[in-house]
Amino acid sequence: MAEVVLDKVTKIFGTNVVAVDDASITIADKEFVVLVGPSGCGKSTFLRMIAGLEEVTRGEIYIDGRMVNNVAPKDRDIAMVFQNYALYPHMTAFDNMAFGLKLRKYPREEIEARVREAAQILGIEDLLDRKPKELSGGQRQRVAVGRAIVRKPKVFLFDEPLSNLDAKLRVQMRTEIEKLHNRLQTTMIYVTHDQIEAMTMGTRIVVLKDGVIQQVADPMTLYDTPVNKFVAGFIGSPAMNFADGVIAGDGEVAFDEGTFKVPLPAEVAGKVSGYKGKKVVFGVRPEDLRTKPLEGAGPPASFEATVEVVEPMGNEIFAYVTTGKTPIVARLSTREEIKPGSRIKLFIDVRRIHFFDAASEATIV
Ligand SMILES: Nc1ncnc2c1ncn2[C@@H]1O[C@H](COP(=O)(O)OP(=O)(O)OP(=O)(O)O)[C@@H](O)[C@H]1O
Ligand SMILES: [Mg+2]
């Protein structure tokens, strides 16, 4: 078993660059955890500390119950796959995969068997005699993953391994890495800045911002109940719409954007009652907007907006509209005939709306 535990881990570069700030998390044995966040938020540093490539400033890291702060990388039983593959250009795919085992003085037959097995798992048996320059990007990526697999590590660390691949290959490798996890049943920690990768791959997602863990949850929990505006805006594509406004409340409690008002259903009104007359941020996802009122969704809430851009996606359209104050994107059916420059009325599914504190950005609803 290989549980990975970070206990109040902080990494400070130099005197004041706080790359990871007081991070605590327990990653269970065999779990597939995805670490996601914008560029510079500390993802690589987080992984590199687990791998032992970066010293921990404060806090403790445990692998398999053992505190590893002072354990050398090679003794941590971890394999890491990097974004740039870092293959040796003069070696064949076979030798690249075998290299780590040779260094560790494994017997020849064992090396041969492990490389063949990994190559078979990854479907690169026919490529073992080729050098990296004779391989495509996706094939090189497989060799890099193979080099990690042959070690049979307790934990796999992936640092944006697919970011050099084109869109189609990324999708394919994404499912292959998921299959690999199912097959190997090894703890995996996977770093990406791509929220779609995070949503589709992880059993749990860790959202990081400025070195601070914002939320740890399964994909749908993150999507439906983000803890703050950052997580709400980061997970989902196109992103959640936000509108600044106030909670108006003499009689019926409503959100007032300035150009439109949303009457709030009782359970939402109860939660925002403390914000009457105060500023809040309203949030609604693009798919929770429609051109027709939704049956059974309570009092219809709608607003009028001017269509600026229409993006046909084939199976749906993204309509970029503006209320005059707030830009909003709606995800609509291709059957809708929506023309740039026209005015449209959009209905809000009030069962799925969010509110955030304007100052702290914490979730209210
Ligand atoms: N060796 C270093 N010395 C000083 N600062 C560093 C060092 N390595 C990273 N940092 C800083 O620490 C912060 C986190 O960097 P890190 O590489 O972990 O981010 P990241 O989330 O992996 O970003 P990206 O998505 O761009 O790879 C950044 O502000 C970065 O500039
Ligand atoms: Mg990085």
Please return the burial class of 222, using the count of CB atoms within 10 Å of its CB with bins 0-12, 13-18 and 19+. Answer: buried
C-beta of 13 in contact with ligand 1 (< 6 A): yes
pLDDT tops 80 at residue 77: yes
- Going from N- to C-terminal start, the domains of the chain cover 4-234, 241-357
Cβ-contact 63, 76 below 8 angstroms: yes
C-beta of 354 in contact with ligand 1 (< 6 A): no
Peptide bond into 107 cis (omega under 30): no
Inter-CA distances, 77 with 47, 64, 178, 318, Å: 14, 10, 21, 47
C-beta of 76 in contact with ligand 1 (< 6 A): no
Q: Which of 17, 34, 191 to probe ligand 1 with, by most ligand atoms within 8 A of CB?
A: 17
Cβ-contact 11, 57 below 8 angstroms: yes
Q: Measured in angstroms, how far is the CA atom of residue 44 from the centroid of ligand 2?
A: 4
pLDDT digits (tens, 9 = 90+) for 270-297: 999 899 999 999 999 999 999 998 777 6
With left for phi above 0 and alpha for psi between -120 and 50, is residue 120 left, alpha or beta?
A: alpha
Select from 3.30.2130.10, 3.40.50.720, 3.40.50.2300, 2.40.50.140 the CATH code of 241-357.
Answer: 2.40.50.140
C-beta of 204 in contact with ligand 1 (< 6 A): no
* pTM for this prediction: 0.92
- The residue whose CA is least distant from atom 25 of ligand 1 is 39
Task: Pick the ligand that lies closest to the CA of residue 82.
Answer: 2
d(C-alpha 104, C-alpha 209), whole Å: 38
Q: What's the one-letter identity of residue 213? A: I
- What is the number of residues in the chain? 365
pLDDT digits (tens, 9 = 90+) for 156-208: 999 998 887 788 888 888 888 898 899 889 999 999 988 889 999 989 999 99
pLDDT band at 1, cuts 50/70/90? low
d(C-alpha 287, C-alpha 284), whole Å: 8
- From the alpha carbon of 208, which atom of ligand 1 is closest? 21
Average pLDDT over residues 226-250: 94
CATH number 3.40.50.300 is the correct assignment for the domain at 4-234: yes
Of all residues in the chain, the percent with pLDDT exceeding 70 is 99
- The residue whose CA is least distant from atom 16 of ligand 1 is 42
pLDDT tops 70 at residue 299: no
